[in-house]
């Protein structure tokens, strides 16, 4: 959320610093200057990710937001497809987001995010995301929870469904991220799934994602990942 949290995450051993604003939603967007500050702090030691919101079907608005995050210095630009109801809508959103980012800097990576609890928020099924994201030229697909009420991704998608999501993404040449109220109790399952990226804000805020990131919990999370079979 801010520079102090970024310092704690970096000191704790985070591999990616993810700039967001939880007060604006699951993938709530932060301000351009907040992104710039974290990029300056990271100094190239680790990549910086930035969310651009839980988006409605407004491709132009989304593309401008994506360009803004890219211009502010983010290496990963993450778009949540919350108000997207069909694969055609998802395709139009992502094609334009990718173009906005890659025209500015082809080295930057676009993350397309769907929601494990899509059934209760009316958004697209994550199962359609790998093909659509690959068609659009995105680099990473992600599953998260839209509603932050303590229920995790693992309550909405089975291990088999998540395995299929990861496999489909990799078959399309995409990296795959898993997030959504992940806790220390999920570590063994996560290591079995073996995604490329794990989002852990709630875990390293002591279970309250509105609280601040704690360096000791980032260190504990890293140790748990290394210790898992």
> What is d(CA 166, CA 105) in angstroms, rounded to the nearest whole number?
27
Angle at the Cα of 169 from the Cα atoms of 168 and 175, rounded to 5 degrees: 155
Return the structure tokens found at 229.
């079979």
Active-site residue list:
20, 78
Instruction: Dump strand ranges (E) for 46-173.
Output: 48-56, 76-83, 109-115, 140-144
Reported for 66-69, long-range contacts at CB under 8 A and 24+ positions apart, including other chains, are: 66/97, 66/100, 66/101, 66/110, 67/100, 67/101, 67/104, 68/32, 69/29, 69/32, 69/35
């Amino acid at each position: 959320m801010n520079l102090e949290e970024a310092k704690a995450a970096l000191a704790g051993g985070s591999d990616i610093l993810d700039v967001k604003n939880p007060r604006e939603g699951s993938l709530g967007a932060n301000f351009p200057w907040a992104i710039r500050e974290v990029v300056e702090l990271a100094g190239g030691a680790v990549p910086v990710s930035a969310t651009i919101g839980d988006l409605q079907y407004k491709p132009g608005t989304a593309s401008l937001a994506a360009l803004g995050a890219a211009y502010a210095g983010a290496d990963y630009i993450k778009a949540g497809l919350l108000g997207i109801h069909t694969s055609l809508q998802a395709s139009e959103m992502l094609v334009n987001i990718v173009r906005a980012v890659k025209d500015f800097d082809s080295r930057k990576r676009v993350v397309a995010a769907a929601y494990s609890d899509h059934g209760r928020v009316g958004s697209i099924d994550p199962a359609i995301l790998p093909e659509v994201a690959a068609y659009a030229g995105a680099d990473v697909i992600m599953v998260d929870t839209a509603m932050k009420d303590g229920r995790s991704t693992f309550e909405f998608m089975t291990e088999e469904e998540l395995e299929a999501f990861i496999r489909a993404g990799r078959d399309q040449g995409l990296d795959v991220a898993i997030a959504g109220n992940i806790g220390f109790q999920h570590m063994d399952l996560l290591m079995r799934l073996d995604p490329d990226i794990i989002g852990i804000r709630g875990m390293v805020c002591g279970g309250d994602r509105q609280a601040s990131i704690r360096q000791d919990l980032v260190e504990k999370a890293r140790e748990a990942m290394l210790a898992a079979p």
